[in-house]
Amino acid sequence: MALDELSRQKVWQVVAAIPCGKVASYGQVAELADLPRQARAVGKMMSQLPKDSRLPWYRVINAQGRISFPFDSEGYQRQRERLESEGIEFSGERINLKHYRWDGLA
DNA sequence: TCCTTGACGGAGA
DNA sequence: ATCTCCGCCAAGG
C-alpha cells in the first residue's frame, strides 16, 4: 500500500462521509477514493488506525456484509456494538446490505 | 531473494 | 452456501 499522502487523505475523507446507520465495504471505500481494486490497502490502513481515532471505522465492513474480525475477538465485539447502536441489525453474522449499504452519492 | 500474510473481492466450479 | 484461484501489493521472515 504505502499509498501516498493524497490517497490516504481521500480514504479518510470517504470513511468520514459514511452516514450514521449505513455501511460501506473496503472495496467501495477504495473505489470512492479513486483507488480501484485496492480494498486490501484500505483494510491495511484501518488496521493501523489509532485506537482513539474519531473516524467511523466501524462502518466499514467486507463485501459479504460481515465484520472482518474473528467472531470471538474483541474487535468484532466493539465493531458490532457500535453498528447496532446506530440501528443496524444483524442476521446472524451478517448485515443485509440491501438495507444498509451506503450509496456513495446519488 | 523467495514465501507468506493480511480488517479484501470477484469469478468460477 | 462453500471453496479455490487469482488480482493487488507492502511488510516481515
pLDDT of residue A106: 65
What is the value of pTM for the model shown?
Answer: 0.94
**What share of chain A in percent tops pLDDT 90?**
91
**Is A15 part of any domain?**
yes
Confidence class of residue A8 from pLDDT cuts 50, 70 and 90?
very high
pLDDT of residue A2: 54
Residue A1: is its pLDDT beyond 50?
no
**Is A106 part of any domain?**
no
| Domain coverage including residue A41 | 5-100
**Is A80 part of any domain?**
yes
Say whether the CB atom of A1 is under 7 angstroms from strand C.
Answer: yes
Using the CA of A44, give the nucleotide whose C1' is nearest.
B7
pLDDT of residue A104: 83
Ramachandran bin of A102, using left for φ above 0, alpha for ψ from -120 to 50, beta for the remaining angles: beta
Scan for cell 438495507, then name that residue.
Answer: A99
Mean pLDDT of all residues in A80-104? 96
Q: What total number of domains does chain A contain?
A: 1
Bases of chain C with protein Cβ within 7 A: 7-11
Mean pLDDT of all residues in A47-60? 95
Cell triple for A60: 466499514
Mean pLDDT across chain A:
94
Q: Are A26 and A42 in contact (CB under 8 A)?
A: yes
Say whether the CB atom of A64 is under 7 angstroms from strand C.
Answer: no
Q: A26: domain CATH number? A: 1.10.10.10
Residue A77: is its pLDDT beyond 80?
yes
Residue A45 CA to C5 C1' — how many Å?
Answer: 25
